[in-house]
Amino acid sequence: MNDTPRIDRRQFLRRAACAAVGATAVTSTVADLRMINAVSAATNPADYKALVCLFLFGGNDGNNLVVPTDSTSYGQYAAARGGLALGTGQLAAINPAVSDGHSYGMHPACPEIAQLFNSGKAALVFNVGSLVVPTTKTQFQAQSVPLPAQLFAHSEQQVQWQTSIPDRLGRSGWGGRAADLLNSMNGSASVSMNISINTSNVFQVGNQVTPYTVSQNGSVGLPWTTGTRLQAVKDLLDQPHPNLYEDTYAKTTRRAIDNDALLSGALGAAAPFTTPFPSGGLAAQLKMIARLIAARGTLGHSRQIFFASVGGYDLHGTQAGAHHDLLRELSTSLKAFYDCTVELGVASQVTTFTASDFGRTLQTNGTGSEHGWGNHQIVMGGAVRGQRTYGVFPNMAINGPDDTGQGRWIPTISVDEYSATMAKWFGVSPTNMPIVFPNIARFRQDLGFML
């Protein structure tokens, strides 16, 4: 005799409906229609492109990711960094094809990134950060221009980086808004073009497109729809449901079951690759992204946006060893992922970029560093105009023209400019750029680092 407690169909659906349907689903309908109408008909649906956002949670110390080696800048760097300073002999050499008057090296844990840079497959973008408008030190001190809310605070700056809306609360991310515009290129594909590995994020949330979360091992699925229960749940969901909320929940849940089966099947059917990946969580995430790229045909995706992340970068103390380990993981994982895109034949169609809460102070607190502002970022892929640096490297003088205090650099490139350059390559037209980046009229649309 089965002792499992019974729950009738109406009670089951009613209990779960509130979790499945948010109030924004109705209120965003008008915005969704406007967004759909904005899609550019001129976009060629035959090509494939992917963006991979790699978010370094906590605030990566860009001051030790890229170190100036010319005598004046290095002297200022070493004096302020104290025990965190890296010796010039330790650094991985990079050789920019175009000089900006400085010379640089990368953290000794990053020889693979330096190799990608020197081979033209990666670029460095200097001093990027959240800005409402272009800002000088004089304006900052006088507070004569609007500034991003809650500067130097983790959660607010993470959201501002992901939404590219620093002057007001945004419920959608720039990756989500770009997906709203370009989603029609994926035809009737049922699995979202925005796929996140392991974690939820604001970056991929659109008004129309919502992110689909998978684990580093594949589709997560629904734990209560496995084995012998699966068909029973399907039969229950397929029954008529006169109540709007019940019906919506039933359709949403059935779609989740079907997408789980589709994604699992697509991953299983995709041709295997042989590129070795190092151990560790970040490498596992990027390997899963490579598998999803390999499965793009079965999924029906001409455009994909991925989100991967790693934490631990908030290093107020014992920074030297921890940062070395984090950057080692970053460098080896990026190299493996790029090599895999070469094997898959999509190296020029996949662009990977870093983002982080903010930079860190050039001045050390003794064993670590504090929250900063402007930071240096990596862009990688065959479509990147690599072996070049973009933007202006900050003046390393403490209390100098770029410093708001302790070596917190005022960004000279906004998140909008950095992101819009990749969005343009991805297929967002100049006309539609303000839909994705509401503040872009205050900045440049293209920094030139994409071919």
CATH of the domain at 279: 3.40.720
Is residue 404 in a domain?
A: yes
pTM of the predicted model over 0.85: yes
- Mean pLDDT over each residue of the chain, to the nearest integer: 89
| Residues 6 or more apart in contact with residue 138 via CB below 8 angstroms | 144
Is residue 134 in a domain?
A: yes
Position 225 scores a pLDDT of 55
Position 227 scores a pLDDT of 67
Q: Report d(CA 427, CA 423) in Å as an integer.
A: 6
Q: pLDDT tens digit string along 366-404?
A: 999 999 999 999 999 999 999 999 999 999 999 999 999
Q: Are 379 and 449 in contact (CB under 8 A)?
A: yes
Nearest to 362 by CA among 348, 351, 376: 376
Residue 129 has pLDDT above 80, yes or no: yes
Position 289 scores a pLDDT of 98
Residue 122 has pLDDT above 80, yes or no: yes
Is residue 345 in a domain?
A: yes
Provide the token pair at 314.
């908030």
Q: Is the C-alpha dihedral spanning 117, 393, 418, 385 positive or negative?
A: negative
| Percentage with pLDDT > 90 across the chain | 80
Q: How far, CA to CA in Å, does 357 sit from each of 72, 162, 199, 345, 394?
A: 29, 9, 16, 33, 18
- Residue 226: band (very low, low, confident or very high) from pLDDT cuts 50, 70, 90: low
Q: Report d(CA 284, CA 151) in Å as an integer.
A: 32
Give the domain extent around 210: 50-442
- Residue 236: band (very low, low, confident or very high) from pLDDT cuts 50, 70, 90: confident
Nearest to 311 by CA among 196, 171, 195, 154: 154
Q: pLDDT tens digit string along 333-344?
A: 999 999 999 999
Residue 55 has pLDDT above 50, yes or no: yes
Is residue 44 in a domain?
A: no
Is residue 56 in a domain?
A: yes
Is residue 374 in a domain?
A: yes
Is residue 163 in a domain?
A: yes
Nearest to 73 by CA among 410, 407, 413, 412: 407
> How many domains is the chain partitioned into structurally?
1
Is pLDDT larger for residue 126 or for residue 45?
A: 126
Stated length of the chain = 451
Q: Report d(CA 140, CA 18) in Å as an integer.
A: 45
- Residue 224: band (very low, low, confident or very high) from pLDDT cuts 50, 70, 90: low
